[in-house]
Each structure stands twice: as structure tokens, then as C-alpha cells.
């Protein structure tokens, strides 16, 4: 908006002088600055996730990370925006492609990398690894390895919030492959019946392992599944950080205050294969991957930041800080000790069960039967 400046002594009918931009209200200026700062923080967080995943792949191929390793490169906007809409007392539960979600929730990069290394300073004390990250203090209840296995747990966590009278919500993330699991339907049915404060986030990266959504789902617009339970569902562009942020914030807010569950489908793409062991080219072409890379969500946000007034140097500094954090994470993981073998059962069995665990050691294969029957088999 602009106003026309005219000299106080200009004669009637004189041509107006050039337009002068109206000074924006203070509140508008502050809001603009706050939005810029928020997007810059998101930009740095997205780079942290991208660079962390690239380093995790290098470390995995160097045989320093065991088990499986599933990367989320390309899905950063969806991850950062959805988790960014959460509040302190909200609960996050995810599937096994969870490195980015842990980082977005505030788990220190060093603790995440140490967990991948299986070290005692890892966020799950070296017991979970890549697929089972955990940080209860930050409201992150995992990292679940079984497809769809997190859904009943998340639904139960939402019920727990209700029973304890908490004004909070659960964000339950899953991949597109999980919507065809029985637990998906069971969980949504209970959430709708009991009006639980939960948002089911479907991160649709278009492939469940090596099978496209179109080949696996009779209804490929996955958010429509919510209608079967009279539950609200909607789909957003998962590479548009503003679209995901707005939808996640709105649905989580409604879940907290009104106990209205919902399904949010975010359509995105993963650049790497299903896991590090999967080249990802047996079921999609290099041309398809390259085409999606040209719409990279980080570069997309970078262009948006420039439009908002950010300097190119600010973007470069954000990436540099993210890179430094990843380097420091590897050093932290390398220096972290291996978990002690005699503490293997800590956090697994109830307090006071050390004696029972001793009976389960190698060499005592039937010791558990003494606990059950009070003696040998058949007594």
C-alpha cells in the first residue's frame, strides 16, 4: 500500500509528486521479522537433517553403524513443519525412518549419532539403534520398527493424556505403507469412538519399500481413509513447509482443546532407497529421482527466504552451522563408550528382576521354567 505525497504549496490541479511507500505498522514489521527468523531456523534445521542423513549413510557403509538404516533425505520440510507445530507436552511417536523426527524434536545430534553407533551416550543408551530412537524427556516415544506397530501405542498414549487430564496431543507419524495394516484401522476406530487428542501424520513418500502407492492402495489418496471413521482428513504438499505447518498447527490445536482426532497426509519424496542397502532404482527411474530433486524442499525454502529479505550469506551460515553440528555429532559418538554387557537388562525388566535375568543366561536354557513351575518340567 502507498500514499501520494503532495507539496503543501502545490497549486490546484498540479501533477502529484511520486508515490511514497507508507511506513508499515510496527506490529507488521515485527511479524515479518519474526516470520523471517522462524523460516531461517527451519532452513537450518532442514539442512541439519539432510547433512546428518548423508553422514549416517557414510558411517553405515564404513560399518560403524549396525542393523538397518533408513534415511529421510527429501522429506525435511514435512518433518520440520509437523514437529514444529507441537508444544512442549505433546507426544511424538514415529515409524522407523526417524532420525529427522528426533532431531526436529530437539534431541541433540550427538545423542542421535551415538545411538546409531550403539554407544552408551545414545538417546536410547545404545539399545535402540537407527530404528528405535527414543527420548522420553522430550516427549519422543520412539522409533518403532514394525510397520504400523506405533499406531496402537500412539492411540494408547492419547488415551493416557485424556485420563490424566492433560491438555496435550499426540502426533503419530507413519509411512504410506502403514495404512494397509490392520492396526491402522483399529487405531483410527478407537480414536474416533473415544474422541482422542491425536493427529495421524501419513508421510506419503510415494513408495512403501519398493511398491508405489498406486499399486498398493485401492484408494491412493490416503487421507480419504479417515472418512470411514467419520474423522477429518486432509492432504497437503509435504514439500511446502508453510502448508504443512499451517495444517499441523490447526489440527494439533483442535486435538488438544476439543479432543478431535484427524488424519494429515503430507505428500513428499525420498531421494534414497528404502534403506541404505536399497539403491532405489529397481522400481523407479533415475529420471524420476532427478526430476524430484529439482523441486528440492530445502532449495524451495531458500528461494522463499530470499524473497522475504534474507541475505545469501545468512543461508550459507545456516548450512555451515548445520555441517559443524554433524561433524561434532560424529566426534561425540566416537568418544562415547560401548554399553556395559552387565547392564544389558537395565530398562528391559522390572526392578528387582536381576535374579530372573541371571537364570536366562546362556547355559540355563530352561531356567525360566523353574520360575514358572517352581521346579523342573512336569512338576
Write down the pLDDT at residue 344.
75
Instruction: Report the run of H or E that residue 180 belongs to, with start and end.
Output: none
Write down the pLDDT at residue 23.
57
- Identify the residue whose cell numbers are 547392564: 343
| Contact status, residue 80 vs residue 49, Cβ threshold 8 Å | yes
Write down the pLDDT at residue 342.
80
- Identify the residue whose cell numbers are 540355563: 364
33-46 core/surface letters (b: 16 or more CB in 10 A; e: else)? eeeeeebbebbbbb
Report residues of the chain scoring pLDDT below 50: 1-16, 18-20, 366-379
Write down the pLDDT at residue 372.
43
Write down the pLDDT at residue 341.
85
Write down the pLDDT at residue 235.
98
pTM reported for the whole predicted model: 0.85
- 122-125 long-range contacts (CB < 8 A, ≥24 apart) are 122/333, 122/336, 125/339, 125/346, 125/347
Strands 2-4 and 19-21: antiparallel
Domains and their CATH numbers in the chain: 32-339 (3.40.50.970), 343-373 (no CATH)
Amino acid at each position: 500500500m502507498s500514499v501520494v505525497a503532495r507539496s503543501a504549496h502545490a497549486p490546484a490541479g498540479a501533477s502529484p509528486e511520486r508515490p511514497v511507500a507508507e511506513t508499515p505498522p510496527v506490529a507488521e514489521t515485527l511479524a515479518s521479522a519474526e516470520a523471517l527468523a522462524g523460516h531461517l531456523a527451519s532452513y537450518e534445521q532442514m539442512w541439519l537433517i539432510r547433512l546428518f542423513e548423508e553422514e549416517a549413510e557414510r558411517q553405515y557403509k564404513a560399518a560403524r553403524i549396525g542393523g538397518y538404516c533408513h534415511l529421510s533425505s527429501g522429506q525435511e520440510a514435512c518433518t520440520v513443519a509437523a514437529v514444529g507445530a507441537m508444544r512442549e507436552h505433546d507426544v511424538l511417536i514415529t515409524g522407523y525412518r526417524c532420525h529427522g523426527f528426533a532431531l526436529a524434536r530437539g534431541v541433540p545430534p550427538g545423542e542421535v549419532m551415538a545411538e546409531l553407533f550403539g554407544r552408551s551416550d545414545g538417546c536410547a543408551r545404545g539399545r535402540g539403534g537407527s530404528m528405535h530412537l527414543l527420548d522420553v524427556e522430550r516427549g519422543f516415544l520412539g522409533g518403532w520398527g514394525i510397520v504400523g506397530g506405533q499406531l496402537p501405542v500412539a492411540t494408547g498414549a492419547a488415551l493416557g493424556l485424556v485420563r490424566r487430564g492433560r491438555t496435550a496431543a499426540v502426533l503419530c507419524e507413519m509411512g504410506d505403507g502403514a495404512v494397509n495394516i490392520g492396526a491402522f484401522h483399529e487405531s483410527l476406530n478407537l480414536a474416533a469412538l473415544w474422541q482422542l487428542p491425536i493427529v495421524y501424520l501419513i508421510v506419503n513418500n510415494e513408495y512403501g519399500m519398493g511398491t508405489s502407492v498406486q499399486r498398493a492402495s485401492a484408494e491412493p489418496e490416503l487421507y480419504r481413509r479417515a472418512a470411514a471413521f467419520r474423522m477429518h482428513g486432509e492432504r497437503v504438499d509435504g514439500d511446502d513447509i508453510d502448508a504443512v505447518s499451517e495444517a499441523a498447527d490447526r489440527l494439533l490445536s483442535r486435538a488438544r482443546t476439543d479432543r478431535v482426532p484427524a488424519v494429515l497426509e503430507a505428500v513428499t519424496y525420498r531421494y534414497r532407497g528404502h534403506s541404505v542397502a536399497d539403491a532405489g532404482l529397481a522400481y523407479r527411474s533415475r529420471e524420476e529421482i532427478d526430476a524430484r530433486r529439482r523441486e528440492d524442499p530445502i532449495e524451495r525454502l531458500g528461494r522463499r527466504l530470499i524473497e522475504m529479505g534474507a541475505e545469501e550469506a545468512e543461508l550459507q551460515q545456516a548450512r555451515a552451522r548445520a555441517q559443524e553440528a554433524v561433524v561434532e555429532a560424529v566426534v561425540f559418538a566416537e568418544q562415547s563408550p560401548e554399553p556395559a554387557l552387565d547392564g544389558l537388562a537395565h530398562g528391559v525388566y522390572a526392578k528387582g528382576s536381576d535374579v530372573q535375568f541371571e537364570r536366562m543366561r546362556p547355559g540355563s536354557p530352561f531356567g525360566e521354567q523353574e520360575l514358572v513351575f517352581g521346579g523342573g518340567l512336569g512338576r
